[in-house]
Chains A and B, each alone.
Chain A
Amino acid sequence: AQKVTQAQTEISVVEKEDVTLDCVYETRDTTYYLFWYKQPPSGELVFLIRRNSFDEQNEISGRYSWNFQKSTSSFNFTITASQVVDSAVYFCALTRGQNFVFGPGTRLSVLP
């Protein structure tokens, strides 16, 4: 069965520090997609990135970067030079048929 683990329940960093959010997944599917979503205090979920199982290239978007490693079933997310506006709950998700499996989320607090 598909499963997503985000072992870090809460992380606190000081502004400008780098921070990595871990995501480990389990699936027997050979084709699957992984996602990261951000949920700020306002409550909506914002799409950050999608990665398919055949594309192991790491991706960088501004201060955000993602490291996908099939060998360890991980899809980690790094924020460089964190800012207070990065404070949110971050969810990793994995496709399961026509639906998703979400991880439990990691609450990131960036302190000024």
Chain B
Amino acid sequence: TQLLEQSPQFLSIQEGENLTVYCNSSSVFSSLQWYRQEPGEGPVLLVTVVTGGEVKKLKRLTFQFGDARKDSSLHITAAQTGDTGLYLCAGVSGANNLFFGTGTRLTVIP
């Protein structure tokens, strides 16, 4: 099993603060996806990073893929209440295998 550990597991911050979520593994992945899941719904893809060292920005969200393609981070600037949810990273290995991380539950307090 290729384990993806996310940290922190839970995070509660005030609106306007910055935060970083980490996704770490000892395995190498060909690409890595980040999803957000809201209560009662399935996860929704935010971004896919493919190249080691790649940085992608999605408005206030910045995603980085580690140089060795074993880890990734998600940084949110000036968090808003709408950012509240469960953030999941998922590593792709081979043609058919997608391994999900343990998840980070973010709560943004108004």
Chains A and B form a bound pair: no
